[in-house]
Amino acid sequence: MAGVKKILSGLIILFIAAVMPAYGQGMPQVGATGHIVAEIIPVFTASETSQLNFGRFAPGPAGGQITVTPDNGISVLGNLYRGTGTHNAASFHVSGEVDAAFSITLPEDHVVLTHMQSAKTMVVSNWMSDPLPGPGAGMLQNGFQIVNVGATLNVGNLHDNPVGIYTGTYSITFDFN
């Protein structure tokens, strides 16, 4: 009986060995679907909420400089009479992804203001901001931050800069880091 069991065991092993490869090749295939996710974060925006305003003044015979700081401070150097009225730093509302860091790039060149009735000009230089310019300077806590910008206005004498309003534009860049 032990011999029959041995023969049966051998036949079973041979049968399994012969059938398994054929059975494995004929098995149906199973597929699965994978998923992909990508998210576009909210738009990073910046808008001017307050214009840079050097206020009202009158140039003397030698001219001078007016500086408005990002915290709305003002200083007058040279031969200028500061008139009544308001002055203020520019303000920008920057918004985007919560806690995103961003860079501030101020104008590198002088910006020219032009008299509305003549071709006379004044130059704006020495740009400054709060937070300071540079990589990672700003942080969008709660998804926004106010950036204040100041600069220095270089004023000539009354002949170079006649009475009237002077206007101009400048570019400031905010980049995600």
Q: What is the pLDDT along the chain (177 residues), one digit of tens a residue?
A: 555 455 545 545 555 555 555 555 668 899 999 999 998 776 789 999 999 999 999 998 999 999 999 999 999 999 999 988 899 999 999 999 899 999 999 999 999 999 999 989 999 999 999 999 988 889 999 999 999 999 999 999 999 999 999 999 999 999 988
CATH number among 1.10.3470, 1.10.150, 2.60.40, 3.30.1490, domain 45-176: 2.60.40
Strand-strand pairing, 134-139 and 57-68: unpaired
- Indicate the pTM of the whole model: 0.77
Residue 11: predicted pLDDT: 47
DSSP output for 30-78: ----------PPPPPEEEEEE--B---EEEEEEEEEEEE-TTS-EEEEE
* Domain ranges across the chain: 45-176
Residue 24: predicted pLDDT: 52
Work out the burial of residue 9: count CB atoms within 10 Å of its CB; fewer than 13 is exposed, 13-18 middle, 19 or more buried. exposed
Residue 43: predicted pLDDT: 74
Residue 13: predicted pLDDT: 55
